[in-house]
A and B are shown apart, each in its own frame.
Chain A
Amino acid sequence: MRWHHRLVVTLREWFQPSARDQELNEELRFHFDRQVQANVEAGMPLEQARRAAALAIGNAEPIREASRDARAGALLRQFIRDVGYGMRLMAKAPGFSLAAISIVALGIGAVTAIFSVVYGVVLKPLPFHEPERLVQVWAAYPAGRDGVNAADRREWQVENTVFEGIALINNLANFNLTGAGDPERILGARISANLLPVLGVSPFLGRNFTEEEDEIGRERVVILSDTLWRSRFASDPGVIGKPIALAGVPHVVVGVMGPDFQYPTREHRVWTPLTINPAELARKAPSGHRAVARLKDGVTIAEAQSQMNVIAARQAERYPMNKGIGVELAGMQSDFVSGVSRGLYIMLAAVGSLLIVAALNLAGLMSARGAARSRETGVRLALGASRARVVLQMAAEIVPILALGGVLGVVAAAWAVQAVVPFAPATLPRVENVAVDRYVLLGSFLVLSAAGLLACVLPAMQAWRMDVMTVARGGGRGATPPARQAFARSALVVTQIALSLPLLTAAVLLTKTFTAVTSTDPGFRAEQVVSFHLAIPRSKYRDDRRIAEYLTAMLGRVEGLPDVIAAGMVNRLPLSGNDQMAFVEFEHTSGEGRLQASRVVTSGYFRTMGIPLVEGRLFDERDAADAPGVALIDAQLATELWPDQSAVGRRVRFAARGTLKQASPWLQIAGVVGHVKHEGLDRNSTGQIYWHYLQNTQDRAALVVRTAVGHSQAIVAPVIARIRELDGEQAVYDVRTLEEVRDRSVASRWLSMMLVGAFASMALLLCCVGVYGVMAFGVSRQRRELGIRLALGATRRAVARSVVSRGLTLAAVGSVIGLVIAAAVTRAMQAFLYGVTAGDVVSFGVATVAVVVVALLASYLPARSAAAVDPAVTLRAE
């Protein structure tokens, strides 16, 4: 019964508020009339009776107000009305609104974009079943971790009680895919049959590999990725059971994965069984595989680690080659992103600072507006509005700004993410997952609310503290703002400067780093050189001799093209990541063998790349496959080994190790060439050895072609045509100019420089606005005081100078605090810097000067208007 009444009343109040108001009005009118009647009955004349009744009843408006306030949803209704008022206010002051909305959009957009990347790359769970139970298993050598031995893994599978399974993967298995359509180079991975169950995924079509298919000779099966299935096989489910030609060998398609399965990377197109060489299982051949394991339910990584320690120790006793080798487990997700998370967190810190600066700036803006409207607020308070009501309304006025800015910001972020992801460096894992998703939106919303709250607090405090009498008496114009308010606004600006300075310093440091990296001499001339990647299928070209003949023929054809100045081949381009190492020994040098970076090249490689010959000779026609072995070394290695003597004529050979039971014959060092940065511009490459492709043939090659000026793009099609003339099934991939290769190697540095630079510029701009706001506000408030000073004989110069010096004081205080923060922050960046130290005085100096100059500029206009004060006018006006 009671609930029924309540519901009826609530619904009426909510849906017919005006009807309710009318009722109340009628009721109050009746009350008044009845009182008048009572007074008349008591013997008063009508006029007096009316007056007495009115007096007794008092003002009816508070009653209406109180009854409205007490009604269902009244607060919300009021708030909505205030928001509407805020919107009208916004439209009336477009300049102010535009500024405020852009500040919000800027902060939210930047934070959302960066948070999207951090979330997508670092925080988002891997797309596998219960990913927290997946661990990466490594062999722990004293020098670091490495791939797992297949024989060890077989024993672990039997002995451990902590894993549901341990799967092996071989990441890099490139195949030339031939058959219908252009020959294509595709990336595959070789996986043990239990990988998919361990990851907790199953094929979208068909089946997984069976254990038997892990055995040698039975592995001619393949699972396709969704991408390949769609692009090459037109999503035909009938592809299951049909053979496709991989590396010239037919493989039967047994399954197709779903689109979510992008393992180990999104680039992988096929998976084939990982067959383990029996020699590996007998511990007679080196073995190194990536391993992933799934923890049993309820087992922690620490528990698993301690059991694996015991097993590894037992193996170390049993097998000589296991001596000193442990096992290291790492959570798959953290392992996946460990290399990049630090950089991304720094980026997040940078954008976080920007957001705080933006929020403070907004608070400053709102507070200035609040002060300009102090008279209005004072009047409302005097007329009986509650302080809570006034503060709530101020909050409501910010809501449209926050909402509009927030939406714009998120849209901008979504756009920015779309635009930036294609440029993301290849080293950024899972970057394809980056999108503005609901967690990111939730995060942005929280950040937005926090920023809004921050922006509300100050103006609200102002209203709260407002002394009604002062405002009423002073008329709200002449009243100098209370010192505390002025101080609060200055504090806002100082904080903005203090937060922007570290950002600026970081930006300068990163820019210096980038300049240092890009101005590093790579050791070759990248201009006018185009590179093409080739993989020669051993199923077709069965031995080294045939491969070498094929490559020679190909080079001949390419060199014959007009506009080709020189052409050569190398098995791996410079600046393409980790070096390939060879275990060699040099004649008459101390020590046994050493690991030395080496590459296989054709004679034309050095001329094409513009790598200088320092001493001796390059490879030439004398160096045939059956001629005496020769090698070249680079200047760095030559200086290291024979500092005072010539390296030419000395000898080097492959030392016995692992599968190589016996050292190779000696090879003579024919010449010394310039040093080339192989691992990256910002890395100190070790010395290099070059082998001749006829004497040490590899089935991978990068063809480099130097063209006449302006022909590097036009040459691509003819070169590929020439190669296809020779072998129509030859896949040619990763065609890039060397300049592009060079730029890509520094792409991540470029990106971080640009982002932090952009954040810093925005922060600086906001600081400028902030300082200007405080100074201009101060001047407009102090016109009277300035007028008096001028009237008493102060020069205009002195007045202007006092304004500027106030601006500079703000900048100075902010800078000092900022420098302290910057010193702490940049230390964490040391690992990202190159050619500059974290404590670089110049960078700190540049950042500080920038801040001070901005403060000067921002004070200039207010100073000018202060100097232009006309004492006669201002004094009379008051």
Chain B
Amino acid sequence: MGKPTDLVQGTVDLLIMKTIVLEPMHGWAIAQRIRQLSDDILQLPQGSLYPALQRLERQGWITADWGTSDNNRRARFYRLTRSGKKRLEHEEAAWERLSSGIGLVLKKA
């Protein structure tokens, strides 16, 4: 499988926010979804996931409530706040700009 790509902090935040934009999710599901969507390229270890969730929560971009999971267990579901949605749009745009910039350099240089 090779070494999973290291994710820098900003990108982790972006991925988490993007993942929960449609519906509230708990931590495990978020990690799972990111893995699936990236065809197993991106693996978000617990050690990065939970501190990131707490950081986002503290900044007010996401909020969490206890709910019941698909296997009938109590789980903490994270969802985007209104300001979190705005933040996500902003971050997405910034990412687009950055990656297209990098792409251009890689192609032309």
Contact = CB atoms under 8 A, between A and B. Distances in A.
Q: How large is the interface on A (under 10, 10 to 19, 20 to 34, 35 or more residues)?
A: 20 to 34
B76 A58 contact: no
B28 A31 contact: yes
Nearest to A66: B51
A28 B59 CA distance: 21
Interface in A14-37: 23-24, 26-28, 30-31, 33-35, 37
Interface string B33-59: 000000000000111001100110111
A1 B29 CA distance: 26
A1 B83 contact: yes
Nearest to B27: A31
B71 interface: yes
A31 B29 CA distance: 9
B63 A5 contact: yes
Contacts of B60: 1-6, 9
Contacts of B47: 58, 62-63, 66
B81 A2 contact: yes
B54 A67 contact: yes
Contact of A70 (B46, B54, B73, B84): B54
Contact of B59 (A6, A27, A66): A6
Given A1-B83, A6-B60, A66-B51, A30 B45 contact: no
B81 A72 contact: no
A63 B28 contact: no
A60 interface: yes
A817 B94 CA distance: 62
Nearest to A60: B46
B50 A1 contact: no
A57 interface: yes
A57 B57 contact: no
A71 interface: yes
B42 to A, nearest CB: 15
Q: State the majority secondary structure of interface residues on B.
A: helix
Contacts of A38: 32
Contacts of A26: 74, 76
B82 interface: yes
Given A63-B46, A66-B47, A34 B76 contact: no
Contacts of B57: 5, 9
B28 A70 contact: no
B26 A30 contact: yes
A71 B53 CA distance: 12
A799 B73 CA distance: 73
B28 A58 contact: no
Interface string B72-94: 01111000011110000000000
Residues of B in contact with A, size category: 20 to 34
Contact of A63 (B29, B51, B61, B69): B51
A5 B81 contact: yes
A37 B58 contact: no
A67 to B, nearest CB: 5
A544 interface: no
B58 A72 contact: yes
Contacts of A164: none
Contact of A28 (B29, B46, B81): B46
Nearest to B63: A5
B45 A27 contact: no
Contacts of B71: 34, 37
B28 A2 contact: no
Contact of B50 (A28, A33, A37, A58): A28
Contacts of B29: 34
Given A31-B28, A37-B71, A6 B51 contact: no
A13 interface: yes
A795 interface: no
A730 B50 CA distance: 92
A10 B58 contact: yes
A58 B45 contact: yes
A52 B29 CA distance: 18
B76 A23 contact: yes
Given A6-B60, A27-B27, A63-B46, A34 B54 contact: no
Contact of A9 (B58, B75, B83): B58
Interface of A: 1-6, 9-10, 13, 23-24, 26-28, 30-31, 33-35, 37-38, 57-58, 60, 62-63, 66-67, 70-72
The 8 closest A-B pairs by CB, nearest first: A2-B60, A2-B83, A5-B60, A6-B60, A34-B28, A66-B51, A31-B28, A9-B58
10 contacts: A1-B81, A2-B61, A24-B54, A26-B76, A30-B73, A34-B26, A34-B69, A37-B71, A66-B51, A67-B54
Given A2-B61, A28-B46, 15 more contacts: A6-B58, A9-B58, A24-B54, A27-B27, A30-B26, A30-B27, A30-B73, A34-B28, A34-B29, A34-B73, A57-B45, A60-B46, A66-B47, A66-B51, A70-B58
